A = this chain, B = another copy of it.
Amino acid sequence: MLDLLIKNGVVITMTGKGVGVIPRGSVGIKGNRIEFVGEIPTGCRAHREIDATNKAVMPGLIDAHIHSGLALLRGLAQDTDHWMQKALWPFAHALTPEDDKIGSMVNIIEGVMAGTTTFCDYDSNMDSLLENHMKVGTRARVAETINEMPDDMPELDIGDLYPLDQDSGQRLLDTSRKLLDKWHGSGQGRITCMLGPQGPDMVSAQLLQQVFELAEQYDTMVHMHVAQGDREIDQMLKRYGKRSIPWLDEQGFINQRLLAVHLTEATDEETRLVAQRGASMVLCSGSIGIIDGIIPPAATFLAGGGRLALGSDQAPGNNCNNMFNEMKFTSILNKCRARDPRVFPAWQVLRMATIDGARAIGLEEEIGSLEPGKKADIIVIDMDAPSLCPPILEPVRNIVPNLVYSANGSEVDTVVIDGQVIMEERRLLTVDRQKAMAEARTAAAAVAGRAKLGPDILAVEMMAKDQL
């Protein structure tokens, strides 16, 4: 007896070397795993059935880099240079841990409603944010931010070298250790933890060494911003006289445990080195486009044989956390970077958000494709939504291109994570969505009121000019 049978859909399995479409098929689920894909075995019965006629059935999407705790600041930081110092920080410093948690719930709901089933959430106060992931029922592979920024950070001008504080670093490392002990492998294995040094500019070599040792000990990965901006490179040059990637490589930190996020400022040579060492890359097309006006060197990374995943990054400066948005931007921005419409075709980008993404974050045995034995993380997509209509099945198909270039996430009808139906016909079943939004509105008003906004903050200037 199955627990759940999803039948009569266009099943996009993401197995094999392409997309593995079964034009009319079913997926059977028992407990938290997939029992079969394709034809329904004779005599098969299920406790619950979902009819997927005129719908696509595919693996849930993987958001390999999201800071969900910043969601209350959505839309407060863009259209500016020095994004972190002149746009994000004044607001981020006004957030309390409770605000992080309230915001995080909005981001998780946004993601799930747009088909994200796995969240590589990277933030502070992760112990608290994980309560949201547990409540909603998402798959989470999280990292607590580790840095050596002093608690009493002095006022810095742009370009000043940040002071590093050993005690802060050790405290945060300890928080990470506790997080691993408490959560790693919990929720039937739905929750796993990585280590999260914030970037090579914000931790010392000694602390990074400890981080990688801990990752070894728990057999997990190190999720870190690498070459994420000219700000970071500038700090590295000032501190060590070396750019981020050569310095990290010299210390032995570019290896298969590393999940290197952004590579915004990496040269082609540096990018190839990261791929060659077997580290994974997370590409955040939307956020880096908005924050920096840059298209990161993902093409070079892929050409070097690297494993690549996609991430939505943070709400202040993307400003959405929606993997359909990331897929579309990844393809189109890279076509424009290469001035070649043939690169980053839809099927390849869909793999980045599913099976290839799973490989990059080290979960390819569990998720990323629909096949017997894998965890049941499945989304059902309404192809009668005007943006996906009409679906065509023969002699050629248009479904995968439309999922990448036309879908916006609102077509996702049903979401199953670890065998549990989390959303059905766009109704969230595990949490009260309206309540979460109301709490976010109230909390965000208070945060904005508390933020210390100097005259150099672009948002203040834009308000005065009637531009916000």
Contacts and interface: CB of A to CB of B under 8 A. Distances in A.
Nearest to A78: B401
Interface in A382-415: 384, 386-402, 405-410
A444 interface: yes
A453 interface: yes
B75 A468 contact: no
A468 B320 contact: no
A339 B293 contact: yes
Contact of A437 (B320, B384, B409): B384
A429 to B, nearest CB: 16
B397 A78 contact: no
B332 A289 contact: yes
Given A286-B332, A396-B459, A406-B75, A390 B466 contact: no
Contacts of A448: 392, 394-396
Contact of A319 (B18, B106, B406, B438): B406
Contacts of A42: none
A290 B468 contact: no
Interface string A342-357: 1101110000000000
A402 B72 CA distance: 12
Contacts of A407: 320
A211 interface: no
A443 interface: yes
Contacts of A293: 335-336, 338-341, 343
Contacts of A318: 405-406
A468 B16 contact: no
A396 B438 CA distance: 19
A467 interface: yes
A76 interface: yes
Nearest to A466: B18
Contacts of A337: 336
Most chain B Cβ neighbours within 10 Å, of A329, A405, A448, A462: A405
Q: What number of copies of this chain does the assembly contain?
A: 2
B80 A397 contact: no
Most chain B Cβ neighbours within 10 Å, of A78, A331, A393, A463: A78
A4 interface: no
Given A390-B437, A437-B384, A468 B401 contact: yes
A453 B395 contact: yes
Most chain B Cβ neighbours within 10 Å, of A289, A386, A410: A386
Contacts of A110: 386-387
A80 B405 CA distance: 14
B449 A290 contact: no
A83 B341 CA distance: 9
Contacts of A408: 320, 322, 324-325, 408-410
A315 B347 CA distance: 18
Contacts of A289: 332-333, 335-336
19 contacts: A19-B466, A75-B398, A76-B401, A79-B346, A81-B341, A106-B389, A109-B386, A286-B405, A290-B332, A293-B335, A293-B340, A293-B341, A294-B336, A320-B407, A395-B448, A395-B460, A398-B468, A400-B467, A409-B410
Given A76-B392, A293-B339, A390-B445, 11 more contacts: A54-B441, A78-B401, A79-B342, A289-B335, A292-B339, A324-B408, A347-B468, A384-B437, A392-B444, A396-B463, A400-B468
